[in-house]
Structure 1
Amino acid sequence: MVTAPSLEALRPAGPHESGAGAWRRLWRRLTPADWSVLRIYLLSRIGVWVVVYSAAWIFPNDPGAKQPTPWVSRWDQWDWGHFKRIAEFGYFTGQGAVGSAQPDNREAFFPGFPWLVRLLHSLGVGWTLSGLVISFVAGAVAVVALARIARLYLNGGGDGGGTGGDKAGEKAGEGGVDVGRRAALFLLLSPCAVFLAAGYTEAIFLAFALPAWLAAKRGRWPLASLLAMGAMATRISGLFLVAALVAEFFLGSGGLRDRLRSLPWLALPALPLVGYFGYLYARTGDLMAWKHAEERGWNREFHVPWEAWHNTWVSAFGHVQSTGFAVMFQAELLAMLVGVALLGVLAWRRRWSETVYMALSLWALGTSYWYVSVPRATLLWWPLWIGLAVLSLRWRWVKEAYVCVAGPLMAVLVVAFTTGRWAG
């Protein structure tokens, strides 16, 4: 994961090149526009950390406590427990393992992120801190890639797999640089941005998926496929990314005959999915073990979209849930509406590759018993953040309204997550 800054298709180090020389070459590839994005990223992380520190003092687990719980332990919440158990014990050993009397359905989580956590822990880093470090580094990679994609789109490369890259973005002037900064800022201030900082898979997925998309837009299909393998290893959303890459491969501008030489590379991203499902099948005899874990743990059995909407609406406004759960279901409904609107805009603009990605994402999220984790999924909708950034260049009030509304809401949800009040 630490090598993910090579997302710009760095040449492999020569046989006589030292590791330090490779890192110096990496460092030089960061443009002033990249550094401005990284500055925003670091400042946003400091802001999140300050909120978590303050919440630990204001909302201690024991109201009579004289000292807050340690800062790192504040992140030991919710799904992180699943990732930690997988990293520590694997899928088939330890309390709650697959096949035990009370399974915790950990097979619903892909192995890529827990494997990285285990790797870092083997170097002497604590479990929870390992997850935080991975997300921190991955988040930096993700925002740089997002900003570069935004600059590419603003310069007119969004439709065609161009190779102009950052030079083209720089030629777009201050507007090109600013759109990248805004896209990164909007992502980092999104209401659910706490999951980019926590030991969750959103940051590491974006650290692979966004560079893969950037490589695809530049026609670098071997690199795009290798990076998509990393995304596929972290979460099922990698399948939607691969579908979008296939659509981009066949629908993008330029000579298809030249691209066909790279067609076999598109099979690579399927390997992690086939390998993981094959592993579960070999141990359980259930080819759909992952799907069945999703159904048992999170009610993600198939329902037609209008049933899922109805069930979520009743949970949000039918006074059948406690207020903490009800407000989360309200957020699920709002996020779904945003996603459907984004899908419509992408289709209207004929951005077919991104339309495929969004359509598959919304179908997967919108056909459960009720909506689960749709607000979190917005973090992975990179066309949303780029679209908002472009829109804010036309109308200044868009940025002002977003920062003033989303920023405080993000802080509230950071407090909710790190104090154990995320849902209910």
Structure 2
Amino acid sequence: MTAPTRREQPPSEPDTADRPDRVAPGDKLVGAFRSALPALVGYLAVRTVGLVTLWLWARAVGARPAALLTESDGEWYLRIAQHGYDGYERAQSDMAFFPLYPHLVGALEPLTPLGARATALAVAGLAAFAAAWGLYAVGETLYDRRVGILLAVLWGVLPHSIVQNMSYSEGIFTAFAAWCLWALLRGHWLVAGLLSLCAGLTRPTGSALLAVVCLAAVIALVRRRDGWRPAAALLLAPAGWLGYLAWVGWRTGRPDGWFHIQDAGWGTTFDLGVDTVRVARRVLAHPSALAMYVVTLVVLVAVALFVLAVLDRQPWQLLLYSALILLTTLGAAGYYHAKARFLLPAFPLLLPVAVALARAGWARAVTVLAPLAILSAYFGGYVLMIWNRSP
């Protein structure tokens, strides 16, 4: 088995515009799905282990799995989906939460027999499935199918991967980010711009993705490449993020309204990582809960993986995206216990691990992934059944 090597240039799609036998879009989609099927099956397998573990654990103690999967931030999203934003009067305003995911749930819930809670979980689960497909596409584009498969499965066995099946927005944001970065690598400017717009309506870290798309578009315009499409992407990419911040500013009567809500209501500010380092030192110096040790380990490993990504010379688009996710996550004060969850969308950090496992061979890869899946399943149950704070 040959070792995977990074492709210097992503494979270009064949120009079939003038061919009478060109491939129909539906056939291309079916072909892409078949190519990604092993990755999707592997991802679903490891997530099923986690969900079954949670279900058995919850049943043993008389808890309701659906309620556990929609608790904490999930309850805020459900309230927005059912009643809209409540305004600026509350001490903790729900306008801190970006609108695409809860509004999508609110729009779909009347069309299904599931109810709001189940609809929210279904949307989150389908979005995570789309994200796993996007991760496969990025890994396959840069390396080969083995790396794409392992990248998707690795994302499914992260310690906080239970969040991918909760009524949270990390899964849908990762889907937008993965497919946006894939579109950039393939030169699909309009797709990249639209997906960045959607990501900017989904989470605050949409700022990281729009920065990548905008910079890539500016470079293309300066080099006079791809005609008008980079300019269109440059206009589309920041529209969602800036538009929501502008709306919150209008609702609150102050231009920095969203940032004020984060500071005054939720205790989140940006201090370039001073608080993160302070809390990490306290966790490592004193007895702490398991969840805090795991978060600290994830943070340290994430930084190390970023260094490896730089040494591996990942495409600058992925490096910049990962760097900005790390900066916005680790540089923010507050909610230390949730930083590992906030890093879930930083999937390019997993590429060095996926490449190493692909080079090791399938037997060794499975030997590593199997215990990771078991540990992830346990930890997912732990954070929902024992840990008394949000994941």
Q: Same fold (TM over 0.5)?
A: yes
Letter in 1 for 2:89: G
Which digits, 9 at most, give the CA deviation of each residue in 1:243-262, with x for residues without a partner?
1223444568x993223532
In structure 2, list runs of 5 or more residues that go unmatched. 1-12, 14-23
Residues 124 and 171, structure 2, Cα contact 8 Å, conserved in 1: yes
Letter in 2 for 1:387: P
Shift of 1:192: 0.9
1:389 aligns with 2:357: no
Distance 2:115 2:187 in 1: 40
Match of 1:289 in 2: 257
Given candidates 189, 209, 232, the residue that maps to 2:177 is 209
Superposed, 1:379-418 pairs within 5 Å as 379-396=344-361, 399-400=365-366, 402-418=368-384
Residues 75 and 199, structure 1, Cα contact 8 Å, conserved in 2: yes
Letter in 1 for 2:40: L
Residues 109 and 116, structure 2, Cα contact 8 Å, conserved in 1: yes
Match of 1:46 in 2: 48
1:110 aligns with 2:98: yes
Superposed, 1:50-89 pairs within 5 Å as 50-60=52-62, 69-89=63-83
Match of 1:99 in 2: 89
Match of 1:374 in 2: 339
Letter in 1 for 2:230: L
Shift of 1:23: 9.8
Given candidates 78, 85, 107, the residue that maps to 1:119 is 107
Distance 1:354 1:111 in 2: 25
1:146 aligns with 2:135: yes
Name the TM-score, length of structure 2 as normaliser: 0.84
Shift of 1:216: 0.9
Distance 1:292 1:44 in 2: 40
Match of 2:6 in 1: none
Superposed, 1:314-325 pairs within 5 Å as 314-319=282-287, 323-324=288-289
Gap change, CA 1:42 and 1:332, over 3 Å in 2: closer
Residues 325 and 346, structure 2, Cα contact 8 Å, conserved in 1: no
Given candidates 310, 327, 331, the residue that maps to 1:363 is 327
Shift of 1:29: 3.7
Shift of 1:98: 2.7
Distance 1:307 1:53 in 2: 36
Match of 1:171 in 2: none
In structure 1, list runs of 5 or more residues that go unmatched. 1-8, 10-21, 61-68, 155-175
1:90 aligns with 2:111: no
Match of 2:160 in 1: 192
SS at match of 2:171: helix
Residues 339 and 358, structure 1, Cα contact 8 Å, conserved in 2: no
Match of 1:273 in 2: 241
Residues 233 and 273, structure 1, Cα contact 8 Å, conserved in 2: yes
Residues 316 and 328, structure 1, Cα contact 8 Å, conserved in 2: no
Distance 2:343 2:364 in 1: 18
SS at match of 2:225: helix
Residues 416 and 422, structure 1, Cα contact 8 Å, conserved in 2: no
Match of 1:160 in 2: none
Letter in 1 for 2:224: R
Distance 1:356 1:228 in 2: 15
State which drifts further: 32-41 or 276-285: 32-41
Distance 1:136 1:203 in 2: 8
Letter in 2 for 1:421: W
State which drifts further: 191-200 or 44-53: 44-53
State which drifts further: 136-145 or 257-266: 257-266
Shift of 1:217: 0.6
1:347 aligns with 2:310: yes
Distance 2:96 2:187 in 1: 33
Which digits, 9 at most, give the CA deviation of each residue in 1:297-343, with x for residues without a partner?
54322324345302332145335xxx43xx33323322222222233
Letter in 2 for 1:334: L
Match of 1:65 in 2: none
Which digits, 9 at most, give the CA deviation of each residue in 1:19-39, with x for residues without a partner?
xxx996576243432122222
Match of 2:21 in 1: none
SS at match of 2:258: helix
Distance 2:301 2:371 in 1: 16
Gap change, CA 1:282 and 1:131, over 3 Å in 2: same
Gap change, CA 1:208 and 1:186, over 3 Å in 2: same
Cα RMSD of the aligned pairs, angstroms, is 2.8
Gap change, CA 1:287 and 1:141, over 3 Å in 2: same
SS at match of 1:259: coil
Residues 232 and 272, structure 1, Cα contact 8 Å, conserved in 2: yes
Distance 1:241 1:250 in 2: 14
**Count of residue correspondences:** 364
Which digits, 9 at most, give the CA deviation of each residue in 1:381-404, with x for residues without a partner?
121222211111223587356425
Gap change, CA 1:257 and 1:376, over 3 Å in 2: same
Which digits, 9 at most, give the CA deviation of each residue in 1:207-226, with x for residues without a partner?
21111111111111011111
Residues 184 and 385, structure 1, Cα contact 8 Å, conserved in 2: no
1:328 aligns with 2:291: yes
Distance 1:205 1:398 in 2: 31
Which digits, 9 at most, give the CA deviation of each residue in 1:1-48, with x for residues without a partner?
xxxxxxxx9xxxxxxxxxxxx996576243432122222233234323
